[in-house]
């Protein structure tokens, strides 16, 4: 999806990145920010959010985005380590589209841990 100013203005993650909405930020760099999910589904639930709004979901990714996607995944591992769940185990989830329950159309990864995570997921 192409970048649209109105979309960005209405996007909760863009508002957080712009500093217009509060968040509990645990990591930031020039490509992503990591914040605590405000409706946590596990004792540790962090979102790795790409700074730009240009990708609404994985479906919008092209080959040119491979580096950003790799960086987001690497950041998930780094944040899991920072949050103390790397050794016990954690799950990285990217809900994509309606049937997967994606509720915010701005690319993000969930990092979940701190409890036993059932498989298969619901
Ligand atoms: P998804 O449903 O995969 O699109 O994930 C969106 C996530 O964003 C959900 O887990 C929400 O709880 C979380 N979320 C929505 N608004 C906020 C917010 N203002 N601060 C932190 N997390 C949020
Ligand atoms: Zn956005």
Domains of the chain: 5-113 (3.30.428.10)
Please indicate whether residue 92, judged by its CB atom, sits closer than 6 Å to ligand 1.
Answer: no
Token output for 32: 């992503």
CA geometry: angle at 67 spanning 1 and 60, to 5°?
A: 15
**Cβ contacts of 97 within 8 Å, gap of 6 or more:** 57, 59
Averaged pLDDT score across all residues of the chain: 95
Q: Which of 45, 53, 108, 110 is an active site residue?
A: 108
Residue range 46-105, pLDDT digits in tens:
999 999 999 999 999 999 999 999 999 999 999 999 999 999 999 999 999 999 999 999
Is 45 among the catalytic positions? no
Please name which ligand lies nearest the alpha carbon of 54: 2
Please name which ligand lies nearest the alpha carbon of 18: 2
Q: What CA–CA distance (Å, rounded) separates 19 from 17? A: 5
Please indicate whether residue 101, judged by its CB atom, sits closer than 6 Å to ligand 1.
Answer: yes
**What is the per-residue pLDDT for 2?**
46
Please indicate whether residue 52, judged by its CB atom, sits closer than 6 Å to ligand 1.
Answer: no
**What is the per-residue pLDDT for 8?**
74
Q: Is the pTM of this model over 0.85?
A: yes
């Amino acid at each position: 999806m192409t970048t649209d100013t109105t979309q960005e203005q209405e996007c909760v993650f863009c508002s957080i990145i712009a500093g217009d909405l509060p968040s509990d930020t645990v990591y930031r760099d020039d490509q992503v920010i990591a914040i605590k999910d405000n409706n946590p589904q596990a004792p540790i639930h962090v979102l790795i959010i790409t700074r730009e709004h240009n990708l609404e979901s994985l479906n919008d990714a092209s080959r040119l985005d491979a580096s950003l996607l790799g960086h987001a995944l690497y950041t998930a591992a780094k944040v899991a380590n920072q949050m103390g769940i790397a050794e016990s185990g954690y799950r990285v989830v990217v809900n994509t589209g309606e049937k997967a329950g994606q509720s915010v159309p701005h690319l993000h990864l969930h990092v979940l841990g701190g409890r036993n995570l059932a498989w298969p997921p619901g």
